[in-house]
Structures are given as C-alpha cells and as structure tokens.
Structure 1
C-alpha cells in the first residue's frame, strides 16, 4: 500500500519552515503532495501560479513530492485524489490548539487522519505572514527563505 500524504497550506511565500516539514514528510512517506489552497477571499502577495512555481524550484530535490492547488475542503480534495492522510507542521502550542480542532473535524467528516510534525527548532518562529510584514518595512528576511523565494519577494516588493 502506497503511503500518500498531503502537506496543505497557502505558502505565500514558501519559507524554510515549510520546506523543513515538506522535506521531512518526503523522507517518511512514499508520496507527498504539496497542495496550495486557493482562497478567493484572501489577497495573497503571490498569485497561486507563482507560489506553485516557487515550490517547484524549492522542492525539486525530492522526487516523491508533487504540487497541486485546490479549492474547498481539504478532505474532499484528499478523497478525490486518494490521499490517506494530512501532514501539518506545528510551530508552537498556539498552532496545536487550532490544528487539533481542524484535525478532529476532518477525521469526523471523512476519517482522514492528520499527522502533526513539529517544525525544527530553528524554524519554529517563522511564518509567511511575519516574513511579508518584515519585508514590507525593508527588513532582511533572506535567512528565512530559500534564495529563489527571497529574490522573488524582493522583486515583488520593488514593483
């Protein structure tokens, strides 16, 4: 039986924390789909195709990682794609409170399990929102992003 999981998120932009979780999941499972949530009610800095392109560049080293995007409920996406579990990275206990409720709802709706993977300590405080906020005010966020993403972020802010 193939162990196929999904790592969902907005990835706006993808950070080293995201890649930490994706890479570790790639080492544990046969197939990992990184799925970018399309949320029409949120204005992202990067459009979904741009996020997918950045993820393609930064995840190419893991041959068992594929990329996709989805709308609607994650559990419906998993069911439609034959994905057996969700992998979520946790940075802090505040993430756990929210993610546990979501995991229990997802399991109750469809039986799809959620596995929590603690983010490595060096990335535990990094979030896309914080990176964007600091970058908008001219702060150097290159230590928190893959080089390709840092270049894209700087170009986006220069526009």
Structure 2
C-alpha cells in the first residue's frame, strides 16, 4: 500500500491543493493532508478551523485524512507511516525550493518526494493571494474547492 503525506499550511486550502490531491489519488492509496503549524506565517484561519474545513471537504473520501502537526515534515511522515511526500509546484522558483527540500528529506530518511505540476489554469492561485483578497472582502469562491465552507466557527 502506498501512503503519502501532502504537507502545507493550507491557509486556505485552494483549488490548486484540491487538484494535487485529486490527481495524486490516481496512483497513491492513501493521503494524509498534513497541516503544518508554522509560527513564522501570519495565518488567517486558526489551525482547528483549517483542519475542520479540509476534513469536511473530504468527509466522503475514505482514502484522505487530515491531521495537524508541529514537527519536521519527515518526522510527521514517519509518525503516520507514509513512504512518500506529495508536493505541488507552480513555478520554477517553487521547483528549486522543493528540489532542495526533497533532496534533504531523502538523504535524512529515504522518503521520496513526488512533485506534481499545477494545472496551467490554476498556476496563478496561491493561498497568499487568496488570503489577501479575503482581507479586502473580495469573493474568493472561484479559488476554493466547490463545497469548501470557510465559515467554521
């Protein structure tokens, strides 16, 4: 059985993230969406709210689970028994960063990283931009997966 983690801050979880999970499920048996706790990031949604939003989105998908973590990604992968890390990349800059991290993770643990290129029509979508638009009261529904409820309390 192939088990992977898909790590990120996911603030918020966008159509780009959704696309990566959907596509990865065609060759991965189980995906744990790992919401990393990163104190260096200025997040919009509290961790519990992000976890609930993503869990609701995948409530009918038994091959996807959601879990927050506060450790190195490779330690989280080992903790949940994952043998792969899935990452999405939008740009050359993303690729260079992800390649470096993937190389380090493989050297430290032997865990491989699979990089999925963003679908071209989604390459402009980033959580940072969506957060900024939300801060100005703009409708961001086109950038969020259908059924994503951002009003968890």
By the TM > 0.5 criterion, same fold? yes
- Seen in structure 2, the aligned counterparts of structure 1 residues 132 and 150 have a Cα distance that, compared at 3 Å, is farther
- Partner residue of 1:99? 98
Q: Is residue 137 of structure 2 the alignment partner of residue 145 of structure 1?
A: no
**Structure 1 counterpart SS, 2:139:** coil
* Displacement after TM superposition at 1:146 (Å): 2.6
CA distance in 1, matches of 2:137, 2:81: 43
List alignment gaps of at least 5 residues for structure 2. none
**Structure 2 counterpart SS, 1:46:** coil
CA distance in 2, matches of 1:38, 1:29: 25
- Paired residues, what number? 153
Alignment of 1:4-153 (within 5 A): 4-149=3-148, 151-152=150-151
Which is richer in helix? 1
**Structure 2 counterpart SS, 1:114:** strand
* Displacement after TM superposition at 1:62 (Å): 2.5
* Displacement after TM superposition at 1:8 (Å): 0.4
List, as ranges, runs of 4+ consecutive aligned residues in structure 1 with deviation greater than 6 Å: none
* Displacement after TM superposition at 1:92 (Å): 1.4
1:94-140 Cα deviation digits (max 9, x unpaired): 11011111101111111111000111122111011101112212333
Give RMSD over aligned pairs: 1.8
1:68-112 Cα deviation digits (max 9, x unpaired): 111121111112221101000111111101111110111111111
* Displacement after TM superposition at 1:61 (Å): 4.0
Which range moved further: 57-66 or 128-137?
Answer: 57-66
* Displacement after TM superposition at 1:57 (Å): 1.7
TM-score by length of 1: 0.88
